[in-house]
Structure 1
Amino acid sequence: MTRDYILGQEKEFKALMKLSIPATIAMLVNAIYNIVDTIFIGRGVGSLGIAGVSIYLPIQMVIMSVSLLIGVGTASIVSRKLGSKDLEGANKASGNLFFIIGLFSFFVSVFGFIFANSIVKLFGASHTVLPYAASYAKTMFLGVLVFPICVASNNIIRAEGNAKDAMNSMIIGMIANVFLDYLFIYVFDMGITGAGLATSISKGLNFAYISYYFIKKSSIDINFKYFKFDSNISKQTIAIGSSAFITQISMSIVTLLLNYSLYNYGGDQAISVYGIVYKLTLFIQMPLAGLIQGMQPLIGYNLGSKNIDRIKNTVKINLIVSTCISTVLTALIFLFPELIINLFSTDKNLISQGSDVLKIVIFMYPILGLYMVAVGFYQSIGKGKESLILSLLRQIIFFIPLSIILPSVSNLGILGIWISFPISDLLSSLCSLVFAIRQYKKIYLSPKNQLC
């Protein structure tokens, strides 16, 4: 069954499932990896180890935000070029990606490794956590040589309709990471340094598989003549990918501010709690992201081929499926929070506090799919302005002000920070609904029956 048939002709639900299930499995694998990694660190190193990893988290988000800026933007261009049978245009867009992201990976890796201590201090490492955060960061920056390339390239693989290969690359990295975590932390007793080294090596294996894919299986021509900067393509890429960039960079800003605020209100323990809770929220967010990743090549391809009805049906199905998944996963975590937190630590105070925080943070997650589908839809059709506005809502416009204001309201303290999460989720989802209704009217009421 050809890629063109899946993207352009197969029944929308089947096509979405064929593209989304591998992407969802890949994202779940990534979430499981993050959880298992934290379990190894929590039990093998301790709560300060978790705090050290939490300090590095916003740094990783910054790196990922740039990777997604280039990757998501380029993938949108590639899927539309493939839909209009412009393979040369797809090759140029991909070559532009590899050139930019390659330079970015090299300079960030070298700079980060040299200045790791100063960087983790800037991102909120206390005197107690600093040795753990710095050791972890140094080994993680080694993996940055290939990590951004892997993130950006996976978007191109999915844009081609080859979601299984994107999934395989992530599964290889996850399996390797779990094995190496155990080996370096427990067998070689390398502590937090071993955890970072395990992740960096696994990213190298991920990169090896992606390299094999582009050389042997991709329809994209990996020719060095395309590996050059193109200002026109880059402008389109940035305009489309800016929402993905804002989503990730805002998470980094939020985590950075949280590290400072949580330390002020609850010390290193509060940072450890958030480190665990964040990893568990990925268990809900990653499957939703997988569905979006399956939806985007379908929308981009059919926009290129002017098949508007197929786009409308794809969005409807995605909304229904994502809402069902987020509701079920939220309910499961909400029912057994202590049992889940207990996997990460034997510290009873950490387990009790983490369980309460987890229930608060995920309270509005059942409606989060609406927000994520809206952002992904606007990215897919090349509407950079709308996707950017929506991306700003959840973290920047709502969460940051709420997390600053609420702790001082009625002396809520750290509770004010925790309840900022569900409130911002609710407000951003409601705003997404307003955008969706407006777009619905454009699609159904416009005499041209167009998306724009």
Structure 2
Amino acid sequence: MAKISSQDLGTQPIGKLLIKQAVPASIGILVMSLNILIDTIFVGHWIGSTAIAAINVVLPVSFFIAALGMSIGIGGSSIISRALGANNNIKALKTFGNQITLTLLLTITMVFFGLLYINDIIPAFGGKGAIFEPAKIYYRIVLYGVPFLALCMMGNTVIRAEGKPKFAMYAMMIPSVGNLVLDYIFINVLDFGMEGAAWATTISYLFCFAFILWFFLSKNSELKIDISHFGLNKSIVSEISSLGFVTLARQAVVSITYLFMNNILYNLGGETSVTAYAIVGRMLMFALFPVFGVTQGFLPIAGFNYGAQEYQRVKKTIFTALKYASGLATLVFIMLMLFPEAITRLFTTDVEVIKQTPSDMRWVFAATPIVAIQLIGAAYFQAIGKAIPALLLTLTRQGFIFIPLILILPKFYGELGVWMSFPISDTLATIITAYFLNREVKRNLVTNS
């Protein structure tokens, strides 16, 4: 493999650079999403449809704790990208050391309290009735591995900030492949049921952590930290926190959304509706992988060039990313509108779930062609270190619009009101994001170019 330097982010053509960054990111997200997708299929067919709902209850809790690592990673990586762009290697190293310390302190604390209040947390997130026991089994085992997942998510963003997307892709692929192999062994061969599914997931996190650790200890990484870099620095922690809080707030809102959705749907349609939402949720993770990949590829390029004061390149990066992501989102939209029932049948043989899910899926993905504007717009402000607009735009869709809608519309339209909330919130959030992104480009990129 040719030697790759972070300086390439400031010199190579934007289109070529974005593809080089986005393709590995997309492949990594695809493999990770396929892992979640196939894991759900395995669980649905080998354990039962209730097990799908049980995992859906646990995911927002475990993902929120892991998102502490992601938020610290993205917040710190924004600093690292801009520091490398400005040739400030000392700040980049200190930031990375602080990221590791913060991730360990916060995630271990959260796991402790997550296990302490297990019997209260699971019902709160919709783990009721027949769902409770399998959810509890899965939750306890998966939480053991969550600190390792958090370190992986943090480390992955730093690898990308160094301009090494292929290694970031490998970091995402290794645990995904490992999880699928272990799923087959633990669930199908050894018949461990929910415990098998949980241990397969936890052990796969350890595989990922081993690879991330190897990368930073090897000559592939430019960031060679020592013990002095682990001591927390107030200004760096503050900057990591302000930028990382954007990602954490996003995941917090996602977790709250799961809490409301699982409970509302359980009350309106029982376990069938919760399972339908679990399937649609997996498709939200899987189907949009190329759009998320473009967004991930966009972040280090925008951050590096902004740090280097190459504003014309930043502007071109925004519009190239929007073009690529919107085209890919439209292809995803067409696929999901045409084949929702065939997709549903991959997950389950439950007749009621198959009957309900296709209509729900069409509602959820109705505004998909325009979601790239939301994602790229919020990511841009995060990449350049503007935490407040990044936070507000990130929260606009789910926090300010979607959650109020799912609390209000079902009073008038029943369960249909829940599904109608998706395209309405996507459309409104896109309009708001487009306005602020356009204003930012005109004010700061055009005038400074």
Bin for the TM-score computed over the shorter chain: over 0.9
Aligned partners of 2:62 and 2:146 also within 8 Å: no
What one-letter code is carried by the residue in structure 2 that aligns with 1:165? Answer: F
Alignment partner for residue 47 of structure 2, among 45, 48, 72?
A: 45
Q: Deviation of residue 322 (structure 1)?
A: 0.1
- Aligned with 1:392: secondary structure? helix
Q: Deviation of residue 123 (structure 1)?
A: 2.0
Equivalent-residue separation in structure 1 for 2:294 and 2:9 (angstroms) = 15
Matched, 1:162 2:161: no
Q: In the alignment, what sits opposite 2:436?
A: 435
User: Greater shift after overlay, 432-441 or 59-68?
Assistant: 59-68
Aligned partners of 2:62 and 2:143 also within 8 Å: no
What one-letter code is carried by the residue in structure 2 that aligns with 1:119? Answer: I
Matched, 1:93 2:98: no
Q: In the alignment, what sits opposite 1:136?
A: 138
Equivalent-residue separation in structure 2 for 1:257 and 1:428 (angstroms) = 20
What one-letter code is carried by the residue in structure 2 that aligns with 1:153? Answer: G
Q: Deviation of residue 76 (structure 1)?
A: 0.2
TM-score by length of 1: 0.96
Alignment partner for residue 368 of structure 1, among 371, 381, 385?
A: 371
CA deviation vs aligned residue, 1:381-405 (integer Å, no higher than 9, x gap): 1011111110111101100111111
Instruction: State how 1:294-373 maps to structure 2 within 5 Å.
Output: 294-373=297-376
Matched, 1:388 2:391: yes
Instruction: State how 1:16-165 maps to structure 2 within 5 Å.
Output: 16-165=18-167
Q: Cα RMSD over matched residues?
A: 1.3
- Aligned with 1:144: secondary structure? helix
- Residues 277, 180 of structure 1: CA spacing in aligned structure 2 closer, same or farther, 3 A cutoff? same
Equivalent-residue separation in structure 1 for 2:226 and 2:336 (angstroms) = 47
Aligned partners of 2:124 and 2:259 also within 8 Å: no
Equivalent-residue separation in structure 2 for 1:175 and 1:307 (angstroms) = 39
Q: In the alignment, what sits opposite 1:271?
A: 274
Equivalent-residue separation in structure 2 for 1:30 and 1:401 (angstroms) = 31
What one-letter code is carried by the residue in structure 1 that aligns with 2:318? Answer: V
Q: Deviation of residue 195 (structure 1)?
A: 0.7
Equivalent-residue separation in structure 2 for 1:271 and 1:9 (angstroms) = 49
Equivalent-residue separation in structure 1 for 2:290 and 2:209 (angstroms) = 22
Aligned partners of 1:67 and 1:152 also within 8 Å: yes
Equivalent-residue separation in structure 2 for 1:60 and 1:210 (angstroms) = 20
Aligned partners of 1:65 and 1:247 also within 8 Å: no
Equivalent-residue separation in structure 2 for 1:34 and 1:173 (angstroms) = 11
Percent pairwise identity: 34
Alignment partner for residue 406 of structure 1, among 385, 409, 421?
A: 409
TM-score by length of 2: 0.97
Q: In the alignment, what sits opposite 2:239?
A: 236
- Residues 314, 445 of structure 1: CA spacing in aligned structure 2 closer, same or farther, 3 A cutoff? closer
CA deviation vs aligned residue, 1:197-252 (integer Å, no higher than 9, x gap): 10100010000000000000211113222112222111111221222122111111
Instruction: State how 1:1-12 maps to structure 2 within 5 Å.
Output: 2-12=4-14
Q: Deviation of residue 84 (structure 1)?
A: 1.1
Equivalent-residue separation in structure 1 for 2:223 and 2:129 (angstroms) = 49
Aligned partners of 1:239 and 1:384 also within 8 Å: yes
Q: In the alignment, what sits opposite 2:422?
A: 421
Q: Deviation of residue 445 (structure 1)?
A: 5.0
CA deviation vs aligned residue, 1:129-180 (integer Å, no higher than 9, x gap): 1111000001101111301111111111100011111110111111100011
Q: Deviation of residue 444 (structure 1)?
A: 5.5
Q: Deviation of residue 102 (structure 1)?
A: 1.2
Q: Deviation of residue 77 (structure 1)?
A: 0.3
Equivalent-residue separation in structure 2 for 1:248 and 1:370 (angstroms) = 19
Q: Deviation of residue 88 (structure 1)?
A: 1.0
Equivalent-residue separation in structure 2 for 1:172 and 1:311 (angstroms) = 32
Equivalent-residue separation in structure 2 for 1:386 and 1:105 (angstroms) = 26
Aligned partners of 2:66 and 2:147 also within 8 Å: no
Q: Deviation of residue 371 (structure 1)?
A: 0.5
Equivalent-residue separation in structure 2 for 1:197 and 1:108 (angstroms) = 20
Equivalent-residue separation in structure 2 for 1:234 and 1:393 (angstroms) = 26
Aligned partners of 1:140 and 1:200 also within 8 Å: yes
- Residues 172, 2 of structure 1: CA spacing in aligned structure 2 closer, same or farther, 3 A cutoff? closer
User: Greater shift after overlay, 248-257 or 61-70?
Assistant: 61-70
Q: Deviation of residue 118 (structure 1)?
A: 3.1
What one-letter code is carried by the residue in structure 1 that aligns with 2:360? Answer: V
Equivalent-residue separation in structure 1 for 2:63 and 2:131 (angstroms) = 20
Equivalent-residue separation in structure 2 for 1:147 and 1:284 (angstroms) = 22
Q: Deviation of residue 5 (structure 1)?
A: 4.4
Q: Deviation of residue 287 (structure 1)?
A: 2.2
Equivalent-residue separation in structure 2 for 1:142 and 1:135 (angstroms) = 12
Matched, 1:290 2:290: no
Equivalent-residue separation in structure 1 for 2:69 and 2:288 (angstroms) = 19
Q: Deviation of residue 110 (structure 1)?
A: 3.8
Equivalent-residue separation in structure 2 for 1:445 and 1:256 (angstroms) = 43
Equivalent-residue separation in structure 2 for 1:312 and 1:376 (angstroms) = 13
What one-letter code is carried by the residue in structure 1 that aligns with 2:225? Answer: I
